């Protein structure tokens, strides 16, 4: 087991459809810790950097058009094996192959608009968190707000 951080983003279709709360709920229920979150509309250079591994793909232009078309909800989460576990919770890229019970399996209909992004490796998690948030404001929820104090609020 290893404590990891990952970058999760509700894409413009998910924001438009009111799925932010549902997605946060699933990650909280799983026991992960939210480190940072922001509703933002990103410019093309941030989007192109985010999807740099796909820049030679035929769908790259449309992917960047789509991700910059409206607000996204960007989040950094922390937890045990959160990178791999969140990919399982998200489901396959193509929603027609995503299992029921996964976020894409339950809510998405097309691979071009599949509701949510999640980092696929430690290296991309680090790069993506920095691209969207710079250095994290909160290192860990436990650092700023220990669980014992939370119970007394
Ligand atoms: N994508 C697309 N057309 C394709 C393949 C992928 O529009 O034929 C989009 C899709 O939204 C996907 C994103 O590109 O989520 C990044 O692709 P990747 O293979 O990294 O999938 P993911 O990690 O998001 O499951």
What are the angstrom distances between the C-alpha of 97 and each of 64, 107, 146? 23, 12, 40
Dump pLDDT digits (tens) for 18-53.
999 999 999 999 999 999 999 999 999 999 999 999
* Ligand 1 atom having least distance to the Cα of 62: 7
Choose one of 8, 58, 114 to mutate for the ligand 1 pocket test, by most ligand atoms within 8 angstroms of C-beta: 114
Residue whose CA lies nearest to ligand 1 atom number 18: 93
Q: What is the pTM of this model?
A: 0.91
Mean of per-residue pLDDT scores for the chain: 93
Dump pLDDT digits (tens) for 62-91.
999 999 999 999 999 999 999 999 999 999
- Where are the extended beta strands (E) located within 11-106? 33-40, 72-80
Ligand 1 centroid distance, CA of 25 (Å): 24
Dump pLDDT digits (tens) for 105-146.
999 999 999 999 999 999 999 999 999 999 765 556 566 666
ipTM: 0.98
| Domain architecture of the chain: domains with CATH | 3-152 (3.30.70.141)
For residue 140, what pLDDT is reported? 60
Question: Nearest CA to 50 among 134, 124, 135, 141?
Answer: 124
For residue 1, what pLDDT is reported? 74
Asked if residue 25 belongs to a known ligand binding site, the reply is no
For residue 118, what pLDDT is reported? 98
Whether residue 153 is predicted with pLDDT greater than 50 in this model: the reply is no
């Amino acid at each position: 087991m290893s404590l990891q951080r990952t970058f999760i983003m509700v894409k413009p279709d998910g924001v438009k459809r009111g799925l932010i709360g549902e997605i946060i709920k699933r990650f909280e229920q799983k026991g992960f810790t939210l480190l940072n979150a922001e509703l933002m509309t990103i410019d093309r250079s941030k989007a192109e950097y985010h999807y740099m591994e796909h820049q030679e793909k035929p769908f790259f232009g449309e992917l960047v058009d789509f991700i910059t078309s409206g607000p996204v909800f960007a989040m950094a989460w922390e937890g045990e094996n959160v990178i791999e576990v969140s990919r399982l919770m998200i489901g396959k890229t193509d929603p027609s192959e995503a299992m029921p019970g996964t976020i894409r399996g339950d809510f998405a209909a097309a691979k071009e608009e599949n509701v949510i992004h999640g980092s696929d490796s430690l290296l991309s998690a680090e790069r993506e968190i920095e691209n969207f948030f710079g250095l994290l404001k909160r290192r860990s929820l436990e650092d700023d707000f220990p669980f014992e104090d939370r119970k007394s609020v």
